[in-house]
C-alpha cells in the first residue's frame, strides 16, 4: 500500500478545495462590488436632471451623450486590451475548458470589471452575470497559474469560478452548480474533486454575496398556486416561447455580424455611439426599456399597464437587447432574457384575459413561468432555467407551471432547429479566430472555418 502516495493525493485534494473556496469568496466580493457600484451609478440620469434646467430636449441630449461616452470607453477598453472580454464570458470559459481558448486573467479581470461597470452603468440592456462569470473564471485562472495545477484540475477550477460568478450575480448557488453540469457537460472534467470544488466555490460565493448585499430572493415575487385546469395555458406559453427563443438567438448572431460588417467598413465605434445615445434617451423617455431589467418583473406586475404599452415594451426590449449586446461591451444575456420573458408573459396573460377571466394572481404565475421558458429556449438548459427562476423569485408554488413551460419551450426550440446560444457564440468566436475543434478536442487553425461549423449536441 503506497501510503506516501495516498497522503500526497489527499494533500492535493485539500489544496484544490481551499483554492475553490477562496476563488468563490474572491468572486463573491468582486461581483458584489461591481453590482452595488452599478446600482449606485444607475442613479446618474436622475441626478443629472436635477442639475439641468427643466426641459425634455436638454435631458435627452445630456443623458444620450453621457451614455454614449460610457459605452465608447467600455468598447475601447475591450478592443485595446482584451477583445475576449466582449459580451458574455460563458463561451470563453467553455472554449478554455475544451482547450480552444485562453483565459488571459491579467487582462480580462480589470477590463471585464471596469468595462462592465461602464456598460451596465450606461443603462445598456445587458446582464450583470456576463462580467461576473468571466471575472470568476479569471480569478480561477490566476489561482491555477499560482498553484501550477494540472490541466484537468485547472479546467475544473475554471468552471467553479464561472459558477461562482453566476452565484454572485443572482444569489443563486444551486442554479450555478446546475448550469455547469448541464451547460458544460461535454467540457467539464467530472471527478469527485472537481465536482466538490464546483459546489464549494458556488456556495462560498453565495454566502459572501448574501453577507454583503443581504439575504433575499433577487427578484422576489408572489405567485399563487395555479389551478390544474389552467395548466394547458403554460403548454401554449412554452411553445410560443420556444419560437421566441430561436428568433432571439438568430437575431443576436445577425446583430453581431451586422455590427462587425459596419465596423470593418467604417468604424467599430459607430454602433456603440448610436446605441449608447439611444439608451441614454430611453432612460428619460421609457426607463423600463433600459438596463438588464433584473427588477423589471417586480415593477411591471404591479403597474397594470395597457396592452399596447406592454407590447411596445416587449418589442423595444427585444431590439435593445440585440443592439446592446452587439456593441461589444462586457455584458451577459441572462438578465435581458429574463426581463424580456417577463414582459412577454404579462402580454400573453393580457391576451388570455381578453377571452377568459384569469384567476387572481395568474398574471404573476405566467410571468414567472415565462422566465424559465425563454431561458430554456435560448440557453437550452431547461433544468437550470427552472431552478434559477425558483431561486430568483422565491415563487416555489409555480414549480409545475415553470416546468411545463420550460419543457415545451425546449422541445419547440429543438423542433425549429434552434441551437444553444453559447454553443453558437463559441462557434462564431472560433470561426473568426480561424480555429476549429478536432475529433480529439485539440485546437487547430483553419482560415476557412465557418461560423456555423460547431457540431450540434
* Helical H segments across 122-150, by residue range: 129-147
352 closest CA partner among 375, 369, 334, 335? 369
- Quick one: pLDDT band at residue 135, thresholds 50, 70, 90? very high
The pLDDT, as a whole number, for residue 79 is: 95
What mean pLDDT, rounded, does the chain reach? 88
State how far the Cα of 390 lies from the Cα of 372, in Å rounded to an integer: 9
CATH fold, domain 228-423, is Clc chloride channel (1.10.3080)
75 closest CA partner among 347, 231, 267? 267
Predicted confidence (pLDDT) per residue in 181-218, tens digit = 888 888 899 999 999 999 999 999 999 999 998 766 66
State how far the Cα of 65 lies from the Cα of 45, in Å rounded to an integer: 11
CB atoms within 10 A of CB 457: 9
Least confident of 175-179, 297-301, 434-438: 434-438
Domain ranges of the chain: 13-213, 228-423
CATH fold, domain 13-213, is Clc chloride channel (1.10.3080)
- Quick one: pLDDT band at residue 13, thresholds 50, 70, 90? confident
- Quick one: pLDDT band at residue 224, thresholds 50, 70, 90? confident
Pairing of strands 435-437, 443-445: antiparallel
How far are the Cα atoms of 38, 105, 156 from residue 114, in angstroms, in the given order? Answer: 11, 14, 26
Predicted confidence (pLDDT) per residue in 271-294, tens digit = 999 999 999 999 988 888 888 877
State how far the Cα of 302 lies from the Cα of 298, in Å rounded to an integer: 7
Q: Residue 87: what are its φ and ψ, rounded to 5°?
A: 70, -145
Predicted confidence (pLDDT) per residue in 369-412, tens digit = 999 999 999 999 999 999 999 888 877 888 899 999 999 999 99
Q: Do 228-423 and 13-213 have the same topology in CATH?
A: yes
The pLDDT, as a whole number, for residue 445 is: 37
336 close to 321: Cβ distance less than 8 angstroms = yes
Give the position of cell 461602464: 118
Q: What percentage of residues in the chain have a pLDDT greater than 70? A: 91
Amino acid at each position: 500500500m503506497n501510503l506516501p502516495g495516498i497522503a500526497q493525493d489527499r494533500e492535493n485534494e485539500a489544496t484544490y478545495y481551499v483554492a475553490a473556496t477562496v476563488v468563490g469568496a474572491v468572486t463573491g466580493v468582486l461581483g458584489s462590488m461591481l453590482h452595488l457600484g452599478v446600482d449606485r451609478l444607475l442613479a446618474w440620469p436622475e441626478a443629472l436632471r436635477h442639475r439641468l434646467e427643466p426641459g425634455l430636449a436638454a435631458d435627452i441630449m445630456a443623458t444620450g451623450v453621457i451614455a454614449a461616452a460610457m459605452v465608447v470607453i467600455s468598447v475601447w477598453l475591450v478592443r485595446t486590451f482584451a477583445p475576449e472580454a466582449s459580451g458574455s464570458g460563458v463561451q470563453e470559459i467553455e472554449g478554455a475548458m475544451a482547450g480552444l481558448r485562453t483565459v488571459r486573467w491579467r487582462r480580462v479581470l480589470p477590463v471585464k470589471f471596469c468595462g462592465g461597470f461602464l456598460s451596465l452603468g450606461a443603462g445598456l440592456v445587458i446582464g450583470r452575470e456576463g462580467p461576473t462569470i468571466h471575472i470568476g473564471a479569471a480569478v480561477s485562472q490566476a489561482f491555477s497559474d499560482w498553484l501550477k495545477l494540472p490541466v484537468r484540475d485547472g479546467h475544473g477550477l475554471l468552471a467553479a469560478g464561472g459558477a461562482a460568478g453566476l452565484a454572485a450575480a443572482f444569489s443563486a448557488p444551486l442554479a450555478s452548480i446546475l448550469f455547469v453540469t448541464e451547460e458544460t457537460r461535454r467540457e467539464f472534467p467530472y471527478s469527485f474533486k472537481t465536482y466538490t470544488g464546483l459546489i464549494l466555490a458556488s456556495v462560498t460565493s453565495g454566502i459572501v454575496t448574501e453577507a454583503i448585499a443581504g439575504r433575499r430572493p433577487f427578484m422576489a415575487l408572489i405567485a399563487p398556486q395555479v389551478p390544474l385546469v389552467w395548466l394547458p395555458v403554460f403548454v401554449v406559453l412554452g411553445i410560443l416561447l420556444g419560437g421566441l427563443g430561436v428568433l432571439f438567438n438568430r437575431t443576436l448572431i445577425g446583430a453581431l455580424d451586422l455590427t462587425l460588417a459596419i465596423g470593418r467598413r467604417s468604424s467599430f465605434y459607430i454602433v456603440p455611439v448610436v446605441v449608447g445615445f439611444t439608451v441614454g434617451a430611453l432612460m428619460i423617455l421609457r426607463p423600463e426599456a433600459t438596463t438588464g431589467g433584473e427588477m423589471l418583473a417586480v415593477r411591471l406586475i404591479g403597474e397594470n399597464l395597457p396592452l399596447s404599452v406592454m407590447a411596445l415594451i416587449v418589442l423595444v426590449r427585444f431590439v435593445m437587447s440585440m443592439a446592446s449586446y452587439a456593441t461589444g461591451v462586457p455584458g451577459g444575456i441572462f438578465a435581458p432574457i429574463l426581463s424580456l420573458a417577463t414582459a412577454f408573459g404579462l402580454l400573453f396573460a393580457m391576451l388570455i384575459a381578453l377571452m377568459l377571466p384569469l384567476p387572481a394572481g395568474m398574471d404573476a404565475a405566467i410571468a414567472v413561468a415565462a422566465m424559465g421558458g425563454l431561458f430554456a429556449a435560448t440557453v437550452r438548459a431547461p433544468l437550470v432555467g427552472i431552478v434559477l427562476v425558483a431561486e430568483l423569485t422565491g415563487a416555489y408554488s409555480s414549480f409545475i407551471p415553470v416546468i411545463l413551460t420550460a419543457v415545451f419551450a425546449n422541445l419547440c426550440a429543438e423542433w425549429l432547429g434552434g441551437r444553444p446560444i453559447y454553443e453558437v457564440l463559441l462557434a462564431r468566436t472560433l470561426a473568426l479566430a480561424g480555429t476549429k475543434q478536432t475529433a480529439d478536442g485539440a485546437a487547430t487553425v483553419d482560415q476557412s472555418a465557418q461560423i456555423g461549423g460547431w457540431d450540434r449536441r
